[in-house]
């Protein structure tokens, strides 16, 4: 009889806990939904357009997983940026809703800019993983993504590229004291095996082995038309800091860093330092393709070899100053190509 009473008591406790947990789970799910809706309203109050066609909180009994169908966010500024996705999935921890694991299944469309500097891309990833960190007021702090294999389509011509690895992050510093030269945006992108590309020299091949871009934007774009805003940004001292650009393509193994802006005629203006390995192999590729003759090739090798420095791994590297000024690109002070004004509107 005593054992039966204990069993009944234990069953009652388990049933009570199950009911309490069920109520708690749905209350937390409701809180998550309310916070998401409040976040969207706060962004709308800032002038952004935030829409979706469905929002569901699932994962009972041990997780809170959110799926948002057909989300769209459009910026309010002159950059005219937008993101539109097939869906976004998030896994929440109620104790810290500011650090959210994400997935980006299906196709996602990204667009920004205007004129020559406009771009629209469609992305589909094999492993669409990501993570988002928010400031206490709900503004974006940092977005991280690790897509693995991915397909990139440039619109509207639908030129398609494949990558073996697409990984990176974007962050937006918290607004502080107004400063026309303050950091406003940073982006890091790592790409492995980008193809197919049209090589300037056939022997380079149609696969870019590595691209790594790390840049920081300084200065805020004011409102208005994109071209006018970009010129105001330039006049107030706005710059793009290329912290690191690495390219490995065929025989080319190069790293570049420097600063970029626009001149008074809307042409690129900047100063960079370039580090180039594989210069002999690059000259050989130009020779084989007929872009350079035997004697100029030999003379160029001798000249570059005199400037090169031995590296710890036994290879040789040459450092070259690169300047964009007065509508020309200068390498070691020598003009190598012209730069046309950008079409900003």
Share of the chain above pLDDT 90, in %: 48
Q: Which of 220, 233, 219, 315 is nearest to 266 (CA)?
A: 233
DSSP run (H or E) holding 21: helix 2-45
Instruction: Point out which residues pair with 168 in neighbouring strands.
Output: 145, 189
Q: Is the pLDDT of residue 180 over 80?
A: no
Looking at residue 3, what is its pLDDT? 62
Which pLDDT band, with edges at 50, 70 and 90, does 178 fall under? low
Preceding peptide of 61 cis, ω within 30°: yes
Check residue 247 and give its pLDDT: 95
pLDDT (average), residues 273-279: 90
147 confidence band (pLDDT: 50, 70, 90): very high
Residue by residue, DSSP assigns 102-150 as EE--SEEEEEE--GGG-EEEEEEESS-EEEEEE-TTS-EEEEEEEEEEE
For residue 6, what pLDDT is reported? 65
The segment with the largest mean pLDDT, out of 21-30, 75-84, 233-242, is 233-242
Sequential DSSP letters for 146-203: EEEEEEEEEETTTEEEEEEEEEEEEE-PPP-S--TTSEEEEEEEEEEEEB----SSGG
**Whole-angstrom distance, CA of residue 123 vs CA of residue 108:** 5
For residues 35 and 320, what is the distance between their CA atoms, to the nearest angstrom?
52
Kindly indicate the confidence band of residue 177, based on its pLDDT and cuts at 50, 70 and 90. Answer: low
> DSSP for 59-108?
-TTT-EEEEEES-EEE-SSTT--EEEESEEEEEE-TT-TTEEEEE--SEE
What are the Cα distances from residue 252, in Å, to 199, 204, 209, 311? 12, 8, 10, 16
Residue 15 burial (10 A CB sphere; 0-12, 13-18, 19+): exposed
Domain ranges of the chain: 1-175, 185-345
Contact status, residue 184 vs residue 203, Cβ threshold 8 Å: no
In sequence order, the β-bridge partners of residue 85 are 108
Instruction: Say if residues 141 and 131 touch (Cβ distance below 8 Å).
Output: no
Model pLDDT, residue 300: 79
Whole-number pLDDT of residue 307:
81
Lowest model confidence (mean pLDDT) among 8-17, 54-63, 135-144: 8-17
Indicate the pLDDT class of residue 149, thresholds 50, 70 and 90.
very high
Closest CA to 104 of 145, 142, 44: 145
Q: What is the pLDDT of residue 278?
A: 85
pLDDT at position 95 is: 66
Half-sphere exposure (Cβ direction) of 99: Cα atoms closer than 13 Å: 3
| pLDDT at residue 1 is higher than 60 | no
Q: List pLDDT tens digits, range 199-257.
A: 877 888 999 999 999 999 999 888 888 999 999 999 999 999 999 999 999 988 999 99
Three-class SS state of 255: strand
- Residue pLDDT, tens place only, 37-70: 988 998 899 888 999 999 999 888 877 899 999 9
Does 13 score more than 80 pLDDT? no
Nearest to 292, CA basis, from 196, 200, 198: 200
């Amino acid at each position: 009889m005593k054992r039966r009473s204990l069993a009944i008591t234990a069953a009652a406790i388990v049933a009570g806990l199950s009911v309490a947990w069920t109520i708690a789970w749905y209350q937390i799910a409701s809180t998550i939904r309310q916070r998401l809706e409040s976040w969207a309203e706060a962004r709308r109050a800032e002038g952004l357009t935030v829409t979706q066609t469905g929002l569901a909180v699932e994962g009972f009994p041990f997780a809170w997983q959110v799926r948002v169908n057909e989300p769209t966010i459009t910026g309010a500024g002159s950059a005219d940026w937008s993101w539109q996705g097939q869906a976004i999935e998030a896994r929440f921890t109620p104790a810290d809703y500011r650090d959210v694991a994400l997935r980006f299944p299906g196709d996602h469309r990204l667009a920004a800019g205007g004129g020559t500097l406009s771009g629209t891309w469609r992305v589909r990833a094999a492993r669409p993983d990501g993570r988002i960190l928010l400031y206490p007021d709900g503004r974006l702090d940092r977005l991280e993504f690790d897509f693995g294999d991915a397909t990139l389509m440039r619109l509207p011509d639908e030129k398609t590229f494949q990558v073996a690895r697409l990984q990176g992050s974007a962050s937006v510093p918290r607004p502080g004291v107004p400063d026309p030269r303050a950091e406003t945006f940073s982006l890091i992108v790592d790409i492995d095996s980008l193809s197919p590309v049209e090589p300037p020299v056939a022997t380079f091949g149609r696969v870019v082995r590595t691209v790594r871009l790390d840049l920081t934007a300084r200065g805020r774009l004011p409102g208005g038309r994109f071209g006018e805003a970009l010129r105001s940004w330039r006049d107030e001292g706005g710059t793009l800091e290329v912290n690191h650009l690495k390219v490995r393509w065929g025989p080319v193994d190069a790293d570049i860093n420097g600063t970029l802006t626009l001149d008074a005629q809307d042409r690129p203006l900047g100063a960079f330092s370039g580090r180039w390995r594989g210069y002999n192999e690059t000259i050989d590729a130009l020779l084989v393709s007929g872009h350079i003759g035997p004697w100029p090739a030999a003379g160029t090798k001798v000249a570059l070899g005199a400037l090169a420095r031995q590296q710890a791994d036994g290879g040789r590297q040459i450092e070259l100053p690169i300047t964009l000024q007065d509508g020309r690109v200068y390498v070691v002070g020598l003009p190598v190509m012209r730069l046309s004004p950008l079409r900003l509107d």
